[in-house]
Structure 1
């Protein structure tokens, strides 16, 4: 099988990418300001608990583990941090010191920064969605965060393989790891429904919609490495990535705003 042909990003294409990064950054930052205002206007902030369970008594005993309340995550503040982080990373692509490396990476069909950004955006998103679905134990939450971030970094590893003819093993391994947090979230959501405590519509909607966006991001990465038809040019893959990540973050912020803060 022949390797997919290489493509050089033209000046016009790179200008469009820079414009997209600027627009996405402005949209995300504007949302951060809006969510901040809504969160400050809330008399009672929406707090998501973080707990820890410590065993009591000898191993195998029937003693109920002790539960300690460690902290609370302010949902509004957490969403603002997520939006601001994503906006800053979008603006960073416009810096002269970064732009040259950004363009040369696209010419080689690589963009490690893209996956470092998404590893954090997706990990924070999964952390918050897990909390909304009733996951409170700190060990589980940290594990979900770490698994999601590490799964995304498999996509950075995938870009070391030749496009079109290279092995897709990093992508497959990343998919196998990345589906685990969503499976755990589904377990909590379905389990709650089985016990008669069905999660509210907002929680079910935000969970399914963000899962759909995550699936599209991974699909875009897969199509980009296959380098077929519209995804043969790295410029188009990058455009789709910017749109999807911005849309996903906006979707989370919008649903938190309308479903909780307002």
Structure 2
């Protein structure tokens, strides 16, 4: 039986001070871009436009005709606030990294071939993103949304674990990566199942075309993060340099969040009768 031993505090990646300074500036710029986008959504958006959330009330014994039940609307998530929130989360973490104390921690992390701040931020922002995607496809049940959020956060935290137990230039233990991929299938399987079932209901209301565009776009971006980590730990091409992969994560984060936020938000600006 092979025992995997890792010194979690041993530097494993060579990163010059000059390169770290450039990354610091890059994070500050990216934080500003996220902040501007989030603020524009709050300024331009109507917080009264909400995605409804609901619960299901059983009115009789389970499995009987009396248990048809009823759906109860329990408020909703304002679209402008939801999209601005995950932009602000990204801005916050970028600014933390650029701040003096945060930058010192970030520098130590990169030199150890990891970035735990990234995974904390993703576990919050990406989970909010997947909840918004679920809502626009018609998944409104509060329990389902909570489950989707936590499964997505689990996927992200497997990414954290992958970095903690591996070094970019050492032996690789791929189990956390593959477990993360399995967890990541869950929310998308729920969304796809919902769309397929509803498409087969005669006379049912289908989501507008832009919803399918959002799903395809964000699905591709979500998988791009996994591909980036796979390339890092396979050491393929430019990804042999761990910091190159870190830079790709930062760019992907901006692109994915901007694509989702503005695709959803833009449709709130269209008059209902347009």
Normalised TM-score (structure 1): 0.92
CA distance in 2, matches of 1:260, 1:174: 33
- Alpha-carbon shift at residue 122 of structure 1 (Å): 1.0
Q: Tell me which of 152, 158, 179 is aligned to 1:173.
A: 179
Q: Unpaired segments of 5 or more residues in structure 2?
A: 1-10
User: Does residue 225 of structure 1 match 2:233?
Assistant: yes
Structure 1: 4+ residue segments shifted above 3 A? none
Q: Is the contact between residue 12 and residue 167 of structure 2 (CA under 8 Å) also seen in structure 1? A: no
- 1:145-156 mapped onto 2 (5 Å cutoff): 145-156=149-160
User: Does residue 25 of structure 1 match 2:36?
Assistant: no
Q: Is the contact between residue 25 and residue 87 of structure 1 (CA under 8 Å) also seen in structure 2? A: yes
CA distance in 1, matches of 2:177, 2:189: 18
- 1:197-212 mapped onto 2 (5 Å cutoff): 197-212=205-220
Secondary structure of 1:9's partner?
coil
- 1:124-135 mapped onto 2 (5 Å cutoff): 124-135=128-139
- Higher relative contact order by CA 8 Å / sep ≥ 6: 1 or 2? 1
Q: Is the contact between residue 56 and residue 65 of structure 1 (CA under 8 Å) also seen in structure 2? A: yes
- Alpha-carbon shift at residue 165 of structure 1 (Å): 2.1
Q: Tell me which of 116, 123, 126 is aligned to 1:122.
A: 126
User: Does residue 245 of structure 1 match 2:253?
Assistant: yes
Give the root-mean-square deviation of aligned CA atoms. 1.8
CA distance in 2, matches of 1:148, 1:260: 26
- Alpha-carbon shift at residue 120 of structure 1 (Å): 1.1
User: Does residue 215 of structure 1 match 2:223?
Assistant: yes
Q: Tell me which of 41, 60, 64 is aligned to 2:63.
A: 60
CA distance in 2, matches of 1:245, 1:121: 10
User: Does residue 9 of structure 1 match 2:12?
Assistant: no
Normalised TM-score (structure 2): 0.88
CA distance in 1, matches of 2:97, 2:23: 9
Q: In the alignment, which residue of structure 2 is the partner of 1:106?
A: 110
Q: Unpaired segments of 5 or more residues in structure 1?
A: none
Secondary structure of 1:199's partner?
coil
- Alpha-carbon shift at residue 235 of structure 1 (Å): 1.1
Q: Is the contact between residue 79 and residue 265 of structure 2 (CA under 8 Å) also seen in structure 1? A: no
Q: Is the contact between residue 224 and residue 231 of structure 1 (CA under 8 Å) also seen in structure 2? A: yes
CA distance in 1, matches of 2:112, 2:92: 24
Farther-moved stretch of structure 1 (88-97 vs 221-230): 221-230
Superimposed CA distance per residue, residues 83-124 of structure 1 (whole angstroms, 9 cap, x where no aligned partner): 111111111101111111111111111111111111111100
CA distance in 1, matches of 2:139, 2:156: 22
Give the number of equivalent residue pairs: 256
CA distance in 2, matches of 1:185, 1:69: 20
